[in-house]
Chain A
């Protein structure tokens, strides 16, 4: 009995192993050669999941789209999704895993600056390629990262300029409110430098920071109210993540009128508005390089495609899903990379980099181009006003594309 059992055990073990090999092998033997692996590195759990999950969704949709059109270089793209769980240490490790274990040819990912800073050495060491889709504080330029989001000059300055203009309402006092980390700090420094250079007196500019996840905005809105009683006050908000919901709610509930005291937000997009009652926010503003409401057939198709994708794949939100600026950045990042690979006929990072630099292309939001040297993207700037349906109406747009600036001139001057 015992003997037989042992025999069975050993046999079972061996068979299990071989069966596994047997079932997987034929498929693999083929896949190996005709797929190109691309990595997706976005937090699907933890504090950043609220923003990054959508980027994963749109990336997978874009890859599916490219595959449906025949893939790249005649091969299908194979996405490798990893969840770094909003854990910055895990980001570096996951990046290594993608580059070395899964041997992906390119990675699309990261949202927070700290996660990008954590993976940057990895990409530089192993000469990988990362497409980073989110607007950020600048002061960085790595040959292994393409930045498809905005640099400060492409978002902050036009917004401040607009608010001071006659069309924007001629505001004279500014409340700079942000989450306490490097992007808002830098953004507010740049804004402050700009406002001072435009002749706004120091005492008309207030600056305040709250920690991540701050939910109690009673006192801050109270202070804004006090400042706003004297008129002509606008709020420039770099509040990030889930603090926005309580902030806007408090703002509306304390009876501040969006037309008298508008909030110009730099981190609130269509996706964040899904969590808010937009009816109370009508009239507040946001500055981005893309809005879902950009009125072109290409964009309409993009929006529709994403909705269909969300519905087909039973993503939470389904056909109600919206797209936003970082999602467009992710989408055209993948397209740009695919086009570059087609152009040079290989996925080699150095060759692809050369092909991407200076490439002009059509994104859903209109034609854009990659900068010829500094790894960033030429983008248009839009200012949008929140509508009751949670969308933005574009009320101002830059003339043509604005040049990205890796290192802000407003920071250098000081």
Chain B
């Protein structure tokens, strides 16, 4: 069968080089305009304020400290925030009687892992006498705030950062002013309501003002505030409203009671609605992992008929590749570049996982085509070996350093937060689906692939090297698993056995979506992800999983060939 296959040169996917070119160009452009070039210098801070902060940080008597905090609240301003935050996080230290902060640990030639020292207020790096940057070896001798102080400092920071240039910080400060019911901020908040540039903060400002007014204002103000809180519908107002209801009940104030109760109901109604939105979003996040995993599997299992039990391990390879790239960036490139390591890690994860996949195909899988159950055993064995290799090389405990833009969350709608890492994985999954679709349906390689899958003999006799296509297809599938690892690593653990917990799920997604159908896999992934999150509030995490599993089993009873069964001649031949 092989002998009659020639090797025409046009079987090489022609688009690949062009794609690579684009990728490199985008990467180069991003690297050429590095954001660290824009690092702002902060205003210097007057001596008195510097000393005041130093005194707070070094004072051991609690009462005296409290006084100093009050003084800081009166006299301080936004410029003190970095120093106070460092104090709160235990990163502040005394260096030549001057407050300094330790910056994240980096590796320096000849010094090992050290902490660069910077001025606590301006964050400018300090230099030693010789003019070289100053470093500290360890985090010992830090000035650390006593634990009860931390919350005090927290409110202090938020009071000081009401006008912080960073909108996110400003937003947090506004919310926290409301939490504290601190009527001294009221003036500032009202002022800001008139001039706040970003419209979206108006909600927070109004909410914070209303909360403070409801707690501290006179009766008329309280009535208005309660109504405002009802109109805004934010859950943060719940505590103030319930307090107001208690007060009104005690005082027999019918009108306030009515307004507050109505507002509370409207808040709760909105919260209930939002909860379902949140479940959906959580479900989409779960779904994006499932889809990432299922994509590669849909190709390997669906199109090639190989039960790839090592799919999870290829994902693990992708995750560890990301880890290695992150570490290389961290160790050898300027810190500013670190946030962009994914631009290298994503293709690297794809190539490494795909490369290992290609190797496995050449050595093992190609001997087993047409015998799916044997591929199950063989790939399980491959998985065991890959897992142990990772264990020997990397060990069981590893930390992936995530880029700073993957940390934290974004309050998309009032009261609805989206964590950036989940958002990233979701978009990433979407991107992968799109690229896979394009590769399969719009490129030469996809054409060859589809031709081979649909009618192997015919494809071979029209000059396609089916063996090569098989190899590339398997590599594509495992490469996609590597991409999955690149995304999942920001949500889950980085251990040699990380892939195992996804494997059964991914198979179910592929099977219930309809084998050989990308669209089916995507829909099944979305369905299962969202469904499990809808069930979870009622049943708890474990039973939600069990119910979904049993649901899939029953679904396959009803439709043994999945959601979108392949039809026609292709289905019979594949």
Contacts and interface: CB of A to CB of B under 8 A. Distances in A.
A274 interface: yes
Nearest to B420: A253
8 pairs of A and B residues whose beta carbons are closest in the complex: A316-B395, A253-B419, A50-B396, A259-B150, A218-B282, A242-B493, A274-B397, A245-B493
Interface stretch (B85-93, B193-201, B248-256, B349-357): B85-93
Contacts of B285: 218
Contact of A276 (B286, B399, B496, B537): B399
A395 B495 contact: no
Given A222-B278, A253-B419, A388-B90, A216 B147 contact: no
A257 B420 CA distance: 17
A47 interface: yes
B239 interface: yes
B154 A215 contact: no
A136 B422 CA distance: 35
Given A253-B419, A254-B417, A391 B139 contact: yes
Interface in B371-398: 388, 391-398
Contact of B286 (A50, A210, A216, A275): A216
A143 interface: no
Contact of B493 (A169, A222, A246, A260): A246
B131 interface: no
Interface string B397-410: 11111100001110
Contact of A216 (B278, B419, B421, B541): B541
B451 interface: no
A385 interface: yes
B476 to A, nearest CB: 26
Contact of A259 (B91, B105, B154, B540): B154
B89 A385 contact: no
A129 to B, nearest CB: 28
B419 A388 contact: no
A197 interface: no
A226 B96 CA distance: 45
Contacts, number: 144
Contacts of A219: 279, 282, 533, 536-537, 541
Interface in A164-210: 166-169, 180, 208-210
Contacts of B154: 257, 259-260
Given A167-B147, A218-B285, A219-B282, A277 B399 contact: yes
B541 A214 contact: yes
A275 B395 contact: no
29 contacts: A49-B396, A49-B496, A50-B495, A166-B148, A169-B147, A169-B151, A213-B501, A215-B501, A218-B285, A218-B422, A219-B541, A220-B541, A229-B235, A242-B493, A252-B408, A253-B408, A253-B421, A254-B409, A255-B408, A255-B409, A255-B417, A271-B397, A274-B398, A276-B399, A277-B399, A277-B400, A316-B392, A388-B105, A389-B139
A216 B286 CA distance: 8
A230 B278 contact: no
Nearest to A222: B278
A345 interface: no
Interface string A237-271: 00000100110011011110101100000000001
Interface in A44-61: 45-47, 49-50, 53
Nearest to B235: A229
Interface in B486-505: 490-497, 501
Interface residues of A, number: 59
B321 to A, nearest CB: 17
B236 interface: yes
A404 interface: no
Nearest to B283: A218
B292 to A, nearest CB: 14
Given A180-B542, A214-B541, A252-B407, A283 B150 contact: yes
A303 B288 CA distance: 42
A242 B499 CA distance: 13
Given A211-B542, A253-B420, A276-B399, A388 B91 contact: yes
B238 interface: yes
B444 interface: no
A316 B394 contact: yes
A282 interface: yes
B80 to A, nearest CB: 18
A272 B397 contact: yes
Given A214-B541, A216-B286, A218-B282, A277 B401 contact: yes
A282 B492 contact: no
B90 A387 contact: yes
A393 interface: yes
A282 B145 CA distance: 12
Given A215-B492, A222-B278, A246-B493, 8 more contacts: A213-B501, A245-B492, A253-B422, A254-B417, A271-B397, A277-B400, A385-B90, A387-B90
Nearest to B496: A49
A206 to B, nearest CB: 13
Contacts of A317: 395, 397
Contacts of A402: none
A315 interface: yes
Nearest to A211: B542
Contacts of B420: 253
Interface in B280-338: 282, 285-286
A31 interface: no
A279 to B, nearest CB: 7
B396 A210 contact: no
Contacts of B397: 50, 271-272, 274-275, 317
A122 interface: no
A231 interface: yes
Contact of A275 (B235, B398, B407, B417): B398
A388 B541 CA distance: 31
B491 A215 contact: yes
B144 interface: yes
A280 interface: yes
Contact of A211 (B105, B147, B396, B541): B541
Contacts of A274: 397-399
A219 B278 CA distance: 9
B165 interface: no
A24 to B, nearest CB: 28
Nearest to A257: B154
A399 B118 CA distance: 38
Contact of A47 (B89, B398, B497): B497
B357 to A, nearest CB: 24
Interface string B249-287: 000000000000000000000000000001100100110
A282 B90 contact: yes
Contact of B491 (A249, A255, A280, A315): A249
Q: Which of A222, A249, A253, A395 has the most CB of B within 10 A?
A: A253
B139 A215 contact: no
Interface in B226-246: 235-236, 238-239
Given A213-B501, A249-B491, A388-B139, A260 B151 contact: yes
Contacts of B144: 393
Nearest to A395: B147
Contacts of B388: 45
Nearest to A253: B419
A394 to B, nearest CB: 11
Interface string A342-360: 0000000000000000000
A308 to B, nearest CB: 15
A169 B145 CA distance: 13
Contacts of A230: 238-239
Nearest to B498: A242
A280 B108 CA distance: 23
Nearest to A282: B89
